Amino acid sequence: MSTKIFLNLPVKDLNRSVEFFTQLGFLFNPLFTNEKGTCLIIGENINVMFLEEEFYKTFTNKEVSDANTTSEVIIAISVESREKVDEIIENVVKAGGAEYMDTKDYGWMYQKMFLDPDGHHWEVFFMDESQIPTNENV
């Protein structure tokens, strides 16, 4: 079995999160879905578990951070083109999310950020690895 990543995020309203990310074109794994949580599929081996906040608390003794006021993580997802970055951000706004911070364009990497309905910080980017500057050009 290959290694899989399951990032766990607390959400206040599971149905709202599912609706939001469905509008962005993401799919969910029904094998890891019930009334307490669901599994957003990012890639073949990369998933995000959205867990109702009370259920999330059963996995930790720490206080759950409020993503609207603190930064706990930045979830970065690469896509196939600059146009896809723009398309996703347009859909984020239509679905009720918020574009966050200014667009960054480094020539070889183009990125935009957004906040989901729970305030989690996401980054969508396109990167042309053949154009990454070498140490000599930095």
Look at residue 65 and tell me if it is in a domain. Answer: no
Do residues 53 and 102 share a domain?
A: no
At 96-124, the pLDDT tens digits run 999 999 999 999 999 999 999 999 999 99
The strand pair at 37-43 and 121-127 is best described as: unpaired
| Class of residue 97 by CB neighbours under 10 A (exposed 0-12, middle 13-18, buried 19+) | buried
**CATH number, domain containing residue 22:** 3.10.180.10
Is the domain of 84 the same as that of 28? no
pLDDT of 72 reads: 87
Give me the number of domains the chain comprises: 2
Task: Label residue 53 exposed, middle or buried (CB < 10 Å: 0-12, 13-18, 19+).
Answer: middle
pLDDT-derived band at 78, boundaries 50, 70, 90: very high
pLDDT over threshold 60, residue 21: yes
| pLDDT score of 65 | 92
**Number of C-beta neighbours around residue 67 at 10 A:** 19
- Residues sharing a CB contact under 8 Å with residue 27, sequence separation 6 or more, in sequence order: 40, 41
Distance between CA 136 and CA 81 in Å, rounded? 27
Q: Are residues 131 and 80 in the same domain?
A: yes
The rounded mean pLDDT for the chain is 95
Residue 89, domain extent: 71-138
Judge whether residue 27 has pLDDT over 70. Answer: yes
Whether 46 and 86 share a structural domain: no
Return the number of other C-beta atoms located less than 10 Å from residue 6's C-beta: 11
